[in-house]
Amino acid sequence: MKDKHITEILDNASMSALSESELNEVRAHALECGPCRSAYEAARMSAVVLKSRAQTTIEPSPFFQTRVMAAIREQREVESVPAIFRLWKSAKVLVSSMALATVALGALSFALPGTTPDDQSLSAYSAESVIMGQSADDQITYEQVLSTIYEDDDDAR
Amino acid sequence: MDFDLARQAQDGDESAFAEIVRRYSPRVFSVASRFFRQRSLVEEAAQEVFLKAYTQLGSFEGRGSLEGWLTRIATNTCLNMVRSSKRRPESTVSDLTDDEQSWLDQHSVGDGEQPSVESSLVATDLADRLLSVLSPEDQQALLMIDGEDASIKEVAEATGWSESKVKVRAFRARKKVREAMEKLLGRNNKQLNSAAD
């Protein structure tokens, strides 16, 4: 019970904030109680190292103010540029490389020998020939159809 | 005075903001030094604080001091930096260095005297070792109260936490640190005894 009481005092406030009567109480108890003695010793040492740590501060360098003001100017410049330009600034590499790739592909498709059929060979194919499996040479012309019809009529007569 | 300076800076007066930086950078550095020991990290945090302050100048209404406002920005910025860096080691009570052992030996006798300048670096290392068992928020509360003798109210103002939250954090942190120190002292005594045998 006494042990708990003393550790509570130690944990409730910093060593420097303990009143003289509280310190006397802790010290008196620590003389009689082993666990409380080590708790008090640890609290005292912790307070010393924490004070030492708190005193370890880094001072600003002489150039710090200049650096901050430069960073602020840079930030202001960035903010003053319209969003579309900022977007362009960050995306221009990607867009440029895509445009370059498109131009290169276009140039290649014109420069290399074509593998697609030319217009003449295309015209040799008609819907009929494709459906009937006939080539253009086998197609019956309109004149041939007419002459065939009239020949048949003549024969019939 | 501070409010006028802030308004001038907000209106684009660069020299007014430069004056704010000049006047309050020691305070911002002091806050950042609680979290970081490397100069580069402290400067990075301080610069971030002033950049944030510049963009948020409009939210400073002049009810409190500019220093208090900047302290709060600094505390939150540093806490975020520590959280995102995830540099916190898992355990503190690993092996002591020779310097730390001899420091504990020297200071376990006597009653609360301050470490000498020569040994303050070792003490600071020991403090970091102890503090590393705590969350960044608990570290902040303990360092301010036990290290800088700040009041509960001052910590609450600097962090934006309620006073009861600060009390709970400080109590919990103090207990953890004391227990970690007890372990270190116990280990140190064992090492001394085994060396004597």
B182 touches chain A (CB under 8 A): yes
More confident residue, A124 or A5: A5
Residue B92 lies in a domain: no
Q: What is the pLDDT of residue B100?
A: 79
CATH number of residue B30's parent domain: 1.10.1740.10
A134 is written with which tokens? 């006939």
Q: Taking a C-beta distance cutoff of 8 angstroms, is the pair B76, B49 a contact?
A: no
**How many CB pairs (< 8 A) connect A and B?**
147
B123 touches chain A (CB under 8 A): yes
Residue B90 lies in a domain: no
Q: What is the pLDDT of residue B89?
A: 45
State the residue range of the domain holding B35. 2-85
In chain B, the number of structural domains is 2
Q: What is the pLDDT of residue A155?
A: 63
Class of residue B90 by CB neighbours under 10 A (exposed 0-12, middle 13-18, buried 19+): exposed
Q: What is the pLDDT of residue B90?
A: 43
> HSE of A147 in the Cβ direction (CA atoms, 13 Å)?
5
Residue B52 lies in a domain: yes
At residue A135, does pLDDT exceed 60?
Answer: no
Does residue B192 sit in the same domain as residue B103? yes
At residue A119, does pLDDT exceed 70?
Answer: no
Residue B91 lies in a domain: no
In percent, how much of chain A has pLDDT > 90?
Answer: 31
Instruction: Summarize pLDDT for B85-123 with one digit per residue, the tens.
Output: 765 544 445 667 777 777 877 776 654 455 565 677 888
Residue B155 lies in a domain: yes
Nearest chain A residue (CA) to B28: A60
Nearest chain A residue (CA) to B113: A48
Instruction: Summarize pLDDT for A99-118 with one digit per residue, the tens.
Output: 999 999 988 888 876 655 55
Could you say which of B61, B85, B109 is where a domain stops? B85
Does residue B152 sit in the same domain as residue B74? no
B13 touches chain A (CB under 8 A): no
Could you say which of B54, B85, B116 is where a domain stops? B85
Q: What is the pLDDT of residue A151?
A: 74
More confident residue, A149 or A138: A149
Q: How confident is the model at residue A121 (pLDDT cuts 50, 70, 90)?
A: low
- Segments making up each domain of chain A, as ranges: 1-84, 127-156
Cross-chain CB nearest to A45 (options B43, B181, B186): B181
More confident residue, A79 or B44: B44
CATH number of residue B176's parent domain: 1.10.10.10
In percent, how much of chain A has pLDDT > 70?
Answer: 73
Residue B109 lies in a domain: yes
Least confident of A1-10, A122-131, B136-145: A122-131
Q: What is the pLDDT of residue B173?
A: 96
Q: What is the pLDDT of residue A108?
A: 87
Residue B171 lies in a domain: yes
Does residue B192 sit in the same domain as residue B104? yes
Place of tokens 């006047």: B23
What is the spatial distance between Cα B187 and Cα B178, in angstroms, rounded to a whole number? 14
Average pLDDT, chain B: 85
Give the residue from B38, B49, B177 with the most A CB atoms within 10 Å of its CB, the best one to mutate: B177
